[in-house]
Amino acid sequence: MANLNLVESLVKERNAWPEDDVSVVLLVLDGVGDVRHPDFGMQTPLEKAHTPNLDSLAQKSALGRILPVDYGITPGSGPAHLGLFGYDPREVDIGRGVLEALGLDMDLEFDDLAARCNFCTMEDGVITDRRAGRPATEENVKLCSRLQVEISKIEDVEVIIQPGMGHRFAVIFRGPGLKEGVCDTDPHENGEPLHTPEPSRPEAEKAARIINKFQKLALDVLEGCEPMNAILVRGVAERPDIASMEDRFKLKAGAIATYPMYRGLSKLVGMNIIDTGTSVEDEFRSYKETRSDFDYHFIHVKGTDEAGEDGNFDHKVEVIEEVDSGIPMILEQNPDSLAITGDHSTPCPMKLHSWHPVPLLLHSNKCDIAGAERFTENECTTKGTLGIFHSMHMISLLLANASLLDKYGA
């Protein structure tokens, strides 16, 4: 695949772009990839789902599979999306706390530390439910307000708390001497004890001490608030300074996402956040309404990932079918190039992100048609003309299929 610096050098000047409005679309079904397993009838959700629109599109598209980071590497959502946007996730490191804070429109300064937190359920020091039963956002707001009143400052560090959706919230720690390098307190599996925040390097010792105090104070405040009686602190990080997609690829980009973390990631790479509703149909309508305002649209669908993490095969099928029913809304806008894929796989049997290559559909009037019948993992492998490649190189294919890259050499 092409070197990304080379791709940047070949992007045509905007005055040489096609006369009509350019529309490049990346539709991400978060965690859509899956595996066949006897517990689920030896089918993946994509194979089980009734998807006439996706399948019809697959018959006129190039297919393949992408690796978010590398073979055998299980990615977090941050690096997985960075790859989709054309950044090398092995070189650009963005903490999850930064993404959550920016996605919630918090004022995150470059010397701050940000953390993404979960409300959870704990019994005798053991985490029994990492998501506290997925509470209503209204309950989250109430407890975040309570935490903010009780914990506004620790030593010389200001603590700023902002509720997110469901069980999630973000915290900014603002004060002197704070450096990233603190491990998560999340054990990442139920049935494991709550971890103690430890510094991974000497510079992070103060941050670890502050976060340890924050967690202990939060436990006191939340005592008796079952099922939301404890917190997990994750992805403690400083805000990085990275080049925007417009600087690199001359793309005026817009992001359509309902979850804060993905809006935060979009902001970091210079995308404009587009207002949208909570349903897939709302998101697709937002693309339709802003089609001519941006050259590049990132559309994020979260439900597939949540279903995979819950091991809920039937619901994952339902979300895929919901996306399929809205595909005509996108195609009616005649995007010059369209990629439909996931940021990573979240197999229902595993209930976790995984390393499995992610199915990819790439459509334009210039693509090499695969001869496939359906958009599934197996069809993308056996009939995919694109093969298996690292996701960070997909941007060059999207740009090429939209006629936005110059020829290399004489």
pLDDT at 324: 98
Residue 262's nearest CA partner among 311, 323, 305 is 305
Alpha-carbon distance of 147 to 180, in angstroms, equals 23
pLDDT at 1: 40
Q: Residues 101, 237: contact at Cβ < 8 Å?
A: no
pLDDT at 241: 85
Residue 56's nearest CA partner among 299, 327, 335, 397 is 327
pLDDT at 16: 87
pLDDT at 94: 83
Before 187, cis peptide (omega within 30)?
no
pLDDT at 63: 97
pLDDT at 313: 97
pTM for the model stands at 0.81
pLDDT at 102: 86
pLDDT at 181: 94
Question: Which domains does the chain possess?
Answer: 4-93+242-401 (3.40.720.10), 99-237 (3.30.70)
Q: Which residues pair with 261 in a beta bridge?
A: none
User: Is the dihedral angle over the CA atoms 130, 93, 169, 296 positive or is it negative?
Assistant: negative
pLDDT at 393: 96
Q: Residues 285, 13: contact at Cβ < 8 Å?
A: no
pLDDT in tens, the chain (410 residues): 447 889 999 999 988 898 778 999 999 999 999 999 999 999 999 999 999 999 999 999 999 999 999 999 999 888 999 999 999 999 887 888 998 898 888 989 989 999 999 999 999 999 999 999 999 999 999 999 999 999 999 999 999 999 998 999 999 999 999 999 999 999 989 999 999 999 999 999 999 999 999 999 999 999 999 999 999 999 999 988 889 999 999 999 999 999 888 988 898 899 999 999 999 999 999 999 999 999 999 999 999 999 999 999 999 999 999 999 999 999 999 999 999 999 999 999 999 999 999 999 999 999 999 889 999 999 999 999 999 999 999 999 999 999 999 999 87
